[in-house]
Homo-oligomer: A and B are copies of this chain.
Amino acid sequence: MRDVCIIGLGQTPIGELWDTSLRQLAYQALTAAVADAGIDRPEALFVGNMLASRLSDQAQLGALLADTCGWRGIEAATVEAACASGGAAFQAGVRAVASGMADVVAVCGVEKMTEATSHEVTSGLATAADADYEVAHGITFVALNALLMQRYMHEYQVPHEAFCEFSLNAHKNAVNNPNAMFRKSISPEIYAKAPVIAPPINLYDSSPICDGAAALILAPLEVARDLGVDPIRVKASASATDCLNLDDRRDLLSLDAARASAQKAYAQAGLGPGDVDVFEVHDAFSIMTALSLEAAGFAEPGTATHLAREGAIAIDGSVPISTMGGLKARGHPVGATGVYELADLVTQLRGQAGQNQVPDAAIGMTQNIGGTGATVVTHILTRE
């Protein structure tokens, strides 16, 4: 098994990009990534996408986007694991390189969500849940997260306002990210007065419906050195699953798949949570931020909001999260998100995060969560 590195990065700004189609988004991110890597074309392309089949009537994105980029002929496929599609596609790319089957591989997460009706998007997102045991009864994906948040608040006696700091931190960090959707700070007052979407989840507990694409180029260490680029090492690539339906979970608040995938990743890298300088968390909802921080070992069960209150999640804290705005404020184009998380982490490890730079960031982790925790993909990256 060969050591795998990230040698190129490209991304589009995230937003309601009415004038940019699905293939144009991917084209922009992918061509920027190959230019950044200084290569002509990859040998293979793995696409992370969840909703194109429903919202854009388009399957087979692998071949489509390879051709769009002028790389007709290369190997390509799409990898899907709901909101963890980007992380799962990246893992497929890592394996293609690690196994020696390809040298230079591109991974692109892309999602175009704003060209459909709200009903179509809500129904599409609900496919991340169990169609027979959850969605058939009328529950939406937001409502499933609301059940988790309500349970958390009850079980640990945590008030709703305790989650506020997660949103404040994400919005504050998005201000300096030119690719972020919401480049504005919010205050505790704004959070407290936000409209409730599915109680107790309010507008600022939720990430937005949006469009975007991010891309990374992978290569073995020796190729990276030949190219003279400053590679970022992939030290761990691990995933784990749980049941989709919440009613059958061992413990509603433990996110077993997040725990298992983090533990596998720590074992692969020979590291622990104390070694991680940056953690790009899957903050699709503020309850997911708390559950992921706890499952990954950064906080004891029920105490993640303490980390936030104490400032540990800030850029200069002990566990900086959502450093470029996170899903909450950078944006959450669902199938692309896992690649955006990795892109933000690469930006940190390269020391290119500007005002949001985590000092001396050398080891970072991402956790990309599908559904309410059914598929979780964890990656650990290091500065070489």
Contacts and interface: CB of A to CB of B under 8 A. Distances in A.
Nearest to A81: B77
What is the predominant secondary structure among interface residues of chain A facing chain B?
mixed
Interface in A236-257: 237-244, 248, 256-257
A100 interface: yes
A1 B57 CA distance: 38
Contacts of A66: 241
Interface residues of A, number: 62
Interface stretch (A68-76, A143-151, A325-333, A343-351): A68-76
Interface string A46-75: 000011011011111011101100001111
Contacts of A257: 63, 73
A371 interface: yes
Contacts of A1: 99-101
B58 A131 contact: yes
A375 interface: yes
A88 interface: yes
A241 B80 contact: no
Q: How many copies does the complex hold?
A: 2
Interface stretch (A120-128, A184-192, A306-314): A120-128
A56 B242 contact: no
A80 B92 contact: no
A260 interface: yes
A128 B243 contact: no
Given A62-B81, A98-B101, A57 B374 contact: no
B241 A57 contact: no
A167 interface: no
A364 interface: no
Contact of A63 (B81, B96, B123): B81
A18 to B, nearest CB: 16
Contact of A72 (B56, B64, B239, B241): B241
Interface string A365-384: 00000110011000000000
A135 interface: yes
B241 A74 contact: yes
B73 A59 contact: no
A72 B242 contact: yes
Contact of A80 (B77, B101, B237, B375): B77
Contacts of A132: 21, 23
B240 A370 contact: no
9 contacts: A1-B101, A60-B375, A62-B241, A67-B243, A73-B260, A76-B81, A76-B375, A77-B79, A77-B375
